A and B are shown apart, each in its own frame.
Chain A
């Protein structure tokens, strides 16, 4: 470590500290005051040990203040002043030493650099294709969600609608009614099922419920049935008791096929 008396740096200590650095790595020296006329780097040659650049020059009284940047190309200790010359061609003997040292990370006989680390493989097809794929997925996802939701809705709709045909629904209700074993809820269901049965039979599915019911009441056979049902299910004091066995007999053996034949 050599303290340089004739050279001062713009740092608080005013001394130029020799420094170590790896080969090939640039280092900077700021505000280095060197006496004498203005300096410039010597021209580079094929076997130069150091690349030295002056990045800024500012006047400093009779001297100049320099910002230097240098990079070592060979291992060893060197003097930066050996790589400077005066612009006016005068001697640089008055310059103090500017010692620097360069270290080699590799062994002395190593000629080839290390192999680079194994990195990530690039994305298949590159960034552009990746964006296109993401765009397609973005567009398809809502469609898939929509289709799934529609399918669910259809399933729930089919759950809401009657799971079996009218004949299958009517049969147990009619048998239970003939045996006098219908609960209030089943009586209500029987009445609604018979309305549905006649609506299908008279092909009134496209009509509104009230107009379909009005047409059903115009039908001779249906009107008699519903008058009797009213008497049984809704009238407070029916004049004559309803014979359910006779009333519901025509509907006992209704099947899907003969319902459609009607």
Chain B
């Protein structure tokens, strides 16, 4: 089996593993893999109860990687994520206690529930991939991927992430409710979860209990996939498409803030990973169109006239893509 076949098998196994606990959501699994293979960070946005946490949990266990989960709350402090120095009274010296950020896969659950200074601390670590505790600077493990989830900003008790911080996320994927068949399947699977007996007591199983701890691949499989992603060819014509698309978001009359150069980089990186996942060694316009919403929508800010007219960023982006062709 050559390396390319190994990568394909690795991806199929991950999809199958996640599929055992999460129904549907093929697109979000693909986006998670894109983020993983391009060392980008991903923000999952959706209403509560769409299996965001379960999905990431299943992915973390499928690949043999360190996995941490932090539930963001309003009283969380930067030290709760990054770590801190603790005074050891017996030796009268400070010892470093590393926080949950020192991991391969960090699930920042409901990131928009934390105060801005906590969000800022995490996003700085995401950008620089290192953390300073006291006088020491520590590099974060490789690979390091943040998968953040957030509820829609209209919900009460949330702090909206500012544009500059949203730009740090390579992808922002919006999860939809499952369709009727998928929802029926979810309910049927839930009926068969069973119970867990321990001693004389028993408790009903949840989906988290049935996620297998057996990994389907290790760090070498992931490294192989990352290596293959970097070898995907991006033509000059494809780069022209990307520049045209990002440029149009900056000059559209309804858009106040368009895509940054980082958005263009994210489109190219994402397109490479998507091409690799789809078994190609070159990127095509389909990759660009498929990822445009996830890469650009969270980076675009509409002006007041557009908002007053009831337009949405997704409408405008689709209009821009149609005008390109």
Roughly how many angstroms separate A160 CA and B248 CA in the complex, as a whole number? 9
Cβ-defined contact, A153 with B290, below 8 A: no
Interface pick from B97-105, B179-187, B236-244: B236-244
- Interface range for B: 20 to 34
| Residues 274-303 of B contacting A (Cβ, < 8 Å) | 281-286, 289-290, 292
Against A, the Cβ 8 Å flags (1 = close, 0 = not) of B227-251 are: 0000001011110110010001001
Instruction: Write the nearest CB–CB distance from B267 to chain A, whole angstroms.
Output: 13
Q: Does A135 contact B (CB under 8 A)?
A: no
| A153-B305, A184-B240 given; A235·B233 CB < 8 A | yes
Against B, the Cβ 8 Å flags (1 = close, 0 = not) of A215-232 are: 001000000000000100
Tell me whether chain B's interface is mostly helix, strand or loop, or mixed.
Answer: helix
| A188-B244, A191-B237, A192-B325 given; A234·B284 CB < 8 A | yes
Cβ-defined contact, B236 with A184, below 8 A: yes
Q: Does B189 contact A (CB under 8 A)?
A: no
| Residues 109-128 of B contacting A (Cβ, < 8 Å) | none
Q: Does A209 contact B (CB under 8 A)?
A: yes
Cβ-defined contact, B237 with A205, below 8 A: no
By a CB distance below 8 angstroms, the chain B residues around A161 are 323
| Residues 53-79 of B contacting A (Cβ, < 8 Å) | none
Cβ-defined contact, A236 with B305, below 8 A: no
Cβ-defined contact, A157 with B322, below 8 A: no
6 A–B pairs (Cβ distance < 8 Å), ordered by A: A184-B240, A191-B237, A196-B325, A210-B290, A230-B284, A236-B281
Roughly how many angstroms separate A234 CA and B284 CA in the complex, as a whole number? 7
| A149-B305, A188-B244, A234-B235 given; A193·B282 CB < 8 A | no
Question: Which residue on B lies nearest to A198, using beta carbons?
Answer: B325
Cβ-defined contact, B233 with A193, below 8 A: no
Q: Does B253 contact A (CB under 8 A)?
A: yes
Tell me whether chain A's interface is mostly helix, strand or loop, or mixed.
Answer: helix
A residues neighboring B (CB under 8 Å): 149, 153, 156-157, 160-162, 184-185, 187-188, 191-196, 199, 205, 208-210, 213-214, 217, 230, 233-236
By a CB distance below 8 angstroms, the chain A residues around B305 are 149, 153
Roughly how many angstroms separate A234 CA and B290 CA in the complex, as a whole number? 17
Contact partner, A188, options B237, B290, B292, Cβ 8 Å: B237
Roughly how many angstroms separate A193 CA and B323 CA in the complex, as a whole number? 9
Against A, the Cβ 8 Å flags (1 = close, 0 = not) of B3-39 are: 0000000000000000000000000000000000000
Q: Does B252 contact A (CB under 8 A)?
A: yes
Q: Does B318 contact A (CB under 8 A)?
A: yes
By a CB distance below 8 angstroms, the chain B residues around A236 are 233, 235, 281-282
Roughly how many angstroms separate A235 CA and B290 CA in the complex, as a whole number? 19
Cβ-defined contact, A233 with B253, below 8 A: no
Instruction: Write the nearest CB–CB distance from B34 to chain A, whole angstroms.
Output: 14
Cβ-defined contact, A185 with B235, below 8 A: no
By a CB distance below 8 angstroms, the chain B residues around A191 are 237, 241, 285
Q: Does B324 contact A (CB under 8 A)?
A: yes
Which 6 pairs across A and B sit closest by C-beta, in order of nearness? A196-B325, A188-B240, A236-B233, A209-B321, A195-B325, A192-B325
